[in-house]
A and B are shown apart, each in its own frame.
Chain A
């Protein structure tokens, strides 16, 4: 596991809580604001950043993250630009793990080898590539494992049957449990179903299990994080950015609003101790 990811999970474990992962799109709504938002996430207590590399056709994303991608692309964000944002982040924040999330086409176009090299040089810790299922991920996974980037696999409610051992076999970093069959920002899963899925995964894999999709409130985040090793919040954060952008708020004010909400999430997770 990447050193930063390992340290982050260890720290949370010592504090008897799960980690808080926060998703934002790189360059949403512009590079300057996006950079300030990332800084504010760290200050507010996020344990891990998932940085979205914008794509024009995000097949697994709902309206909120689709719009975030398009705002970023419109402001001129590119894959190269996303890596630059990651690199600047790393200069300032040496310990917070940063995982890149995106779709394969921009990476393929950039060049898979070049991407892995540059993503590592930028100080990122892992990759979540939504449209590279285990059957197709070798062309990126093999290179990234050699370079100490964790290629993170997704488990979904439809994976939980026969397919589970196959998907877990070559998983690295942590397991991302997608808690609903669906796209981001739509519905939320029942806690019981998350709990049962996390337990199933843990029977097969020793890696930490972090749950995402449909986690919108501090209360949900706290509950879900306590069922495994962490929770990831995306659309709810991105919607705040959209609202600030619509109101033409300054970069500072946008970052502050995002930070206020992130702090609520972090505090709730810290306060919630498993029984």
Chain B
């Protein structure tokens, strides 16, 4: 562990929840006391061995961790450059990385004596993970999901309902993830005594960005050990897709102080950055305040939030976690982007070459790998976060693949 080395990138946030100018606690006064309570409770469990023992138990026996680190030989050959390892978080129970964070927060909610849970969801993966944990721990579950996403991620809506959650379709704004988060926050304001809000990504008011990062960092910690075992060294590069940025930060964080590891975060470029129809807050946004934190946002000159666009419901968000904004400002992580079209191609390719149907979200990471790996030497090694599986996307993707002659 090099947690305490000088010039570490791992000492953030400060006591006010800031990552540089980003982060903070920009919430209505009604929520402020609740957020402070979550912060206090999280501080306590952070150093509580019993809490970690319980978390570890569920990680191992329920989620199925550690997830494998798999050498994707055929994709490596196809791309023709660096060796590609996939961190197989799509094999987790419920099919994505989201459950890593949810189990942690649900255990915290229980510890705080809360019996009711709120969650927002885009692709539905966080909603499904939360509904799952609520079934497991006997908690009531209210999920807020944009009406548009309810349509394009129907299998996940069905799963949540089967698991016993109430799915509230949100019709305000553009009826996607941003609006679901607004509505979840509004619901929390109205139920401050009974409910715990499980945020699904490394965004929102402090301490959520830190807490979610910590719970997701298991991805990077495992990957680091597993690669040492497989290759006896650190990777040359990491690649992960970014919606709010939780799977990415989970992989990146344990490597931030390893100066020789180049890190790429892949945002969704939608129809192309120049089209204006994208979800790339760092590439195409400016700093602002939304959902409790300061961070890069898609907004117009008047400070009104602009709609994001991505084929992937999980990346369709006009903001990004504040720690990413900071890592972008200081240049530690390279933020790049991939279009809808590029992601679709990889969705099919990964299925055909590896027998792994990736979610649309990590298909964006693959799209960047397809460009970057051929530029690297064959001796070099890259870890890509395969953060979710694509079953949920089939209904939306198959007609598109058919149109393109890819089926």
Contacts and interface: CB of A to CB of B under 8 A. Distances in A.
A186 interface: yes
B33 A161 contact: yes
B406 interface: no
Interface stretch (A1-9, A101-109, A257-265): A101-109
Q: Indicate the size class of the contact surface on chain A.
A: 35 or more
Interface in A150-189: 153-159, 161, 163, 167, 178, 180-183, 186-187
B9 interface: no
Interface string A58-87: 011011001000000100001110000000
A79 B189 contact: no
A56 B30 contact: no
Interface in B1-45: 16, 24-34
B180 to A, nearest CB: 12
A23 interface: no
B351 to A, nearest CB: 37
Contacts of A183: 186, 189-190
A56 B28 contact: no
B186 A79 contact: no
Contacts of A131: 26-28, 289, 292
B302 A57 contact: no
A133 interface: yes
B30 A181 contact: yes
Contacts of B291: 57, 59
A155 B30 CA distance: 8
B385 to A, nearest CB: 29
B18 to A, nearest CB: 10
B99 interface: no
Instruction: Specify which of B28, B289, B299 lies most central, judged by the most chain A CB atoms within 10 Å of its CB.
Output: B28
A178 B172 CA distance: 24
Instruction: Specify which of A134, A155, A158 lies most central, judged by the most chain B CB atoms within 10 Å of its CB.
Output: A158
B275 interface: no
B244 to A, nearest CB: 15
Contacts of A56: 173, 304-305
B290 interface: yes
Given A56-B173, A59-B186, A136 B34 contact: no
A109 B28 contact: no
A106 B186 contact: no
B189 A181 contact: yes
Contact of A133 (B25, B286, B299): B25
Contact of B302 (A59, A62, A78, A156): A78
A135 B32 contact: yes
Given A104-B289, A105-B290, A158-B32, 20 more contacts: A56-B173, A59-B291, A60-B30, A73-B304, A79-B302, A104-B26, A105-B305, A109-B302, A132-B26, A133-B25, A133-B26, A134-B29, A135-B16, A153-B29, A156-B30, A159-B29, A159-B33, A178-B30, A181-B191, A183-B189
Interface of B: 16, 24-34, 172-173, 178, 182, 185-186, 189-193, 286-292, 294, 297, 299, 301-305
28 contacts: A55-B304, A57-B182, A57-B291, A57-B305, A59-B185, A59-B291, A60-B28, A104-B289, A105-B288, A105-B290, A107-B303, A108-B294, A108-B303, A109-B299, A130-B28, A132-B26, A133-B28, A134-B29, A134-B32, A135-B16, A135-B25, A136-B24, A181-B189, A181-B191, A181-B192, A182-B189, A183-B190, A186-B190
